[in-house]
Amino acid sequence: MKYYRFFALMSVMFIAQQAFAQEAEQKAIWPVLGKNDTIRVAATNDNGYMIPWIALQEVIITGTRIWKSPQEQAAYNRLRYNVLKVMPYALYAKKRYEQLERDLAITVDKKEQRKLVKACDDEIKKMFNTEIKELTITQGQILTKLIDREVGATTYDIVKQTKGKFAAFSYQLIARVVGHNLKATYNPQEDRDIESIIRSSGYYQ
């Protein structure tokens, strides 16, 4: 008998809920469509009024920069040139490092993992010997920051993780001699000009 009452109560609640939902749906006021309103869009019920809406892509609005002097504008133009020069290398480093992490994640054999790390290291060294070595000191400094921006880890941390502490320490010593710092990090606030250049460059459209 108790079970019968329980099921009867549940049935009444279900029917009431369905009736309430139908009543709410009937009361919804939809906008009047014109003859050219043929695109299906989403709608949200706002106190009985169905408000159509459509998601828009992010729009970045930037103001026209006013330069304090021709020298300041020239410095910005040089920075822009250097950022766009090294940005492809930072994106390559991100792609290659992410690929290495995926390969290591599915490989349990230590010997095979060392092979993967060596292959990645050889590939980066090859690119360094053919292209990156031609970068200026300023471009190299920007590149280390952009690697931190894209990968989420400093160049020093990447070397330490893949080659070990001693290799990272050795590379850092050499880098410091030529004016680089593998521990350099990226800060969007401090490096706001670089961030602005990257955002307006079209890399993330």
DSSP assignment of the chain equals -HHHHHHHHHHHHHHHHHHHHHHHHHHPBPPPP-TT-----EEEEETTEEEEE---------PPP--SSHHHHHHHHHHHHHHHHHHHHHHHHHHHHHHHHHHHHT---HHHHHHHHHHHHHHHHHHHHHTGGGS-HHHHHHHHHHHHHHHSS-HHHHHHHHH-HHHHHHHHHHHHHTT--TT----TTTTHHHHHHHHTTTTT-
Asked whether residue 28 is domain-assigned, the answer is no
Asked whether residue 33 is domain-assigned, the answer is no
CA distances from 21 to 28, 31, 96, 145 (A): 11, 20, 53, 56
State the residue range of the domain holding 136.
87-199
Measured between its terminal Cα atoms, the distance across the chain in Å is 66
Asked whether residue 52 is domain-assigned, the answer is no
Mean pLDDT of successive 10-residue segments in the chain (205 residues)?
48 50 61 79 82 80 83 94 91 86 87 86 76 82 89 84 81 79 88 89 67
Q: Give the Cα separation of 51 and 57 in Å (integer).
A: 19
pLDDT of residue 75: 94
Count of structural domains within the chain: 1
Say if CB 180 and CB 140 are below 8 A apart.
yes
Asked whether residue 65 is domain-assigned, the answer is no
pLDDT of residue 12: 46
Say if CB 150 and CB 94 are below 8 A apart.
yes
Asked whether residue 185 is domain-assigned, the answer is yes
Asked whether residue 127 is domain-assigned, the answer is yes
Asked whether residue 179 is domain-assigned, the answer is yes
Asked whether residue 74 is domain-assigned, the answer is no
pLDDT of residue 69: 93
Verdict on whether the full-model pTM lies above 0.75: no
